Amino acid sequence: MQALPEIKKNFSEWYQEVIYQAELADQTPVRGSMVIRPYGYAIWEHIREILNQKIKETGHDNVAFPLFIPESFIKRESAHVEGFAPELAIVTYAGGKKLEEPLVVRPTSETMVHYMFARWIKSWRDLPLKINQWANVVRWELRPRPFLRTTEFFWQEGHTAHESYEEAEQEVQTMLGEYVDLVQNYLAIPVVTGQKSAQEKFPGAEKTLTLEALMPDGKALQMGTSHLLSQSFAQAFDMKYQNREEKLAYPHLTSWGTTTRLVGAVIMAHGDQKGLILPPAIAPIQIVIIPIFKKGQDKQLIVTTAQKIRENLQKEDVRAHIDSDETRTPGAKFYKWELKGVPLRVEIGPRDIENNQAIVVDRLSGDKKIVALESLIAEIAHMLTTMQRKLFENAQARMQEKWFKGEKLAEFGPIIDQKPGFYQTGWCGNSECELALKEYKASIRCLWKEKIFTHCFNCDKQSIQDILVAKAY
C-alpha cells in the first residue's frame, strides 16, 4: 500500500487517496458516482441511526416517495425550477418508447411531497403534518468529489406543513438545532449557524438556515440546511385547507436535510498523515484488539483473553473487533487500523498475560498506556470519552485560528487563497456586492449575528449586518 500524499501540502489528494485506501468508497464507470463500501457505509449508518432517532423524537414519521417526478411538477414553482434546472437528470424514453411527459430523477422531493400534501391536508385537524424520508437523489455534478459532491448521493429530507408561520419558523429552528447537536456532539465538528443570503438560499424558499464547518484547509463546508418555504409551494400545488374559522387557507411549509457529505466532513476534519481518525461516537469499530503471538508459546491463552476482553466491552455497548489474521505481522495490522481511524487499539501478548495487563494505544495522540486487565474496561470508556472531547476541542481551536476580520474585499480577497478561512466583514445587502466575491471564488456562507463593521466590504454604503465569507466545497 502506497504512502498517503502529504496532508499539509496536498490536502485534496490526501482526501481522495485516504478514502480509497481506507476502503470507504470506490469509483464507478458512471461519472460522478461512487460505490460506498461496507466500512464507509457503516459510518453513514451510525450517523443515520443517531439522526433518525432525533427525527422520530421530534414528532416526524418516516415515509418513502418515488424516485421519478413529472417534469411539470418541477416547473410549478418558478424559483425552484430555475435553481435546479442545470442539475436535473431527465428520463425521456422508457419501455422502448418516448414518454408522454419526461420524468425528472429526484433532485429533491418538495414538488412530489407537496402534490401529496394537497391530497392529504383538508382541515386544520390534519396539521401539523411532519414527515421525513431517507433516500438517494441525483444532481448532475460538474466537479465531483467523493462524499462531498457526487451525481448520486444519500440523504434524509424532512417536509412539514403547519397552521401558522410561527409554527413553521419554530420547526426550522428546531431541526437546525438537531443538526448542530449531531455534528458537534457526535461528529466532533464545530459549526456556525446563520441565514443564507438571497442568492445562496434554497430555490423557492423564503429563507434558508445553514450550519457551516471549517475544514483544515480553510474551506467552508455546508453541513446541513433548514428551509422556511412558507406558502409559495402550497400555492403552486393548490394546497388549501379549511382553517379553524372555516375559511380556506394555505399551510406554511418547511423542508430540511443533510447528506452523506457528513462522512466527507469527518474524514477531512479529523484525519492526519496516517489516515482517518474517527470520533468514537460514530466509529464502526471503537476498539481493535490485536493478539501478539510469539513462536513456541501457547496462542490459545492469548486468543481466549482477547475474546474475553471483547465480550466484556460488548456488554458495555463498546464496538470491539479482534484482528486474528495470522498472515499479517502486528506492524501491518497497526498500520491498517490506524489508516481506518479506529479510536483505540488494545495489544495483548504473552508478557501482557503474565503481568495481567494490556497495552492501549490512542489513535489521536499515539500515546501507549499499560493498563491492568481488571481496570481495562473502565479505562477504555474514559479514554473514548476523552478522545471524543479532544477531537472537538482541536477542531474548534483550528476554526478560531482561521477566523479573520476583513474590512474591504480589496484587502482580504487577494489573500484568501494563501490565508483561507472565515472572513467576517460588513455588507450593505446588495446582490451586486455579493457577486463581487466570485472574482476570488468565495461566497457568503451565512449572515452573522454579530455586527462590528459599519460599512460594506465592497462599496461605501452602510453595512446592515456582518457576514461570514469563505471559499467553500
Helix axes 376-401, 261-270, angle to 10 degrees: 90
| Per-residue pLDDT tens digits for 414-433 | 999 999 999 999 999 999 99
Average pLDDT rounded to a whole number, residues 273-289: 98
Please say whether the dihedral angle defined by the alpha carbons of residues 177, 178, 181 and 184, taken in this order, is positive or negative: negative
Boundary-marking domain end, from 399, 425, 440: 399
Cell 495522540 belongs to 365
Same domain, 309 and 432: no
457: containing domain: 403-470
What distance in Å separates the CA atoms of residue 203 and residue 198, rounded to the nearest whole number? Answer: 9
Average pLDDT rounded to a whole number, residues 26-49: 96
Q: Is residue 72 part of a domain?
A: no
Average pLDDT rounded to a whole number, residues 284-296: 93
Q: What is the pLDDT of residue 78?
A: 63
Q: Is residue 411 part of a domain?
A: yes
Same domain, 253 and 391: no
Q: What is the CATH number of the domain that holds 304?
A: 3.40.50.800
Q: Is residue 214 part of a domain?
A: yes
Which stretches within 58-154 are classed as H helix? 71-74, 78-84, 110-120
DSSP structural state of residue 275: B
What distance in Å separates the CA atoms of residue 354 and residue 348, rounded to the nearest whole number? Answer: 10
Boundary-marking domain end, from 354, 374, 399: 399
- Other C-beta atoms closer than 10 Å to the C-beta of 473 total 19
Number of separate domains in the chain:
3
In contact, 448 and 468? CB cutoff 8 Å: yes
Same domain, 195 and 292: no
Tell me, letter by letter, the H, E, C secondary structure of 100-122. EEEEEECCCCHHHHHHHHHHHCC
Q: Is residue 15 part of a domain?
A: yes
Q: Is residue 87 part of a domain?
A: no
Question: Nearest Cα to 171, choosing from 120, 221, 116, 227?
Answer: 227
User: What cell does 30 get?
Assistant: 458512471
Q: What is the pLDDT of residue 13?
A: 97
Q: Is residue 3 part of a domain?
A: no
Same domain, 344 and 456: no
Same domain, 325 and 360: yes
Q: What is the pLDDT of residue 358?
A: 98
Q: Is residue 354 part of a domain?
A: yes
User: What cell does 85 get?
Assistant: 434546472
Boundary-marking domain end, from 399, 426, 444: 399
| Per-residue pLDDT tens digits for 322-339 | 999 989 999 999 999 999
Single pTM value for the model? 0.95
Q: ∠380-383-389 over CA atoms, to 5°?
A: 145
| Per-residue pLDDT tens digits for 9-20 | 999 999 999 999
Same domain, 253 and 304: no
Q: What band does 463 get if pLDDT is binned at 50, 70 and 90?
A: very high
CB under 8 Å, gap of 24 or more: what pairs does 125-129 form? 126/241, 127/161, 127/162, 127/163, 127/241, 127/251, 128/59, 128/160, 128/161, 128/162, 128/163, 128/167, 128/171, 129/160, 129/161, 129/251
Q: What band does 298 get if pLDDT is binned at 50, 70 and 90?
A: confident
What distance in Å separates the CA atoms of residue 14 and residue 328, rounded to the nearest whole number? Answer: 25
Same domain, 54 and 188: yes
User: What cell does 324 get?
Assistant: 486474528
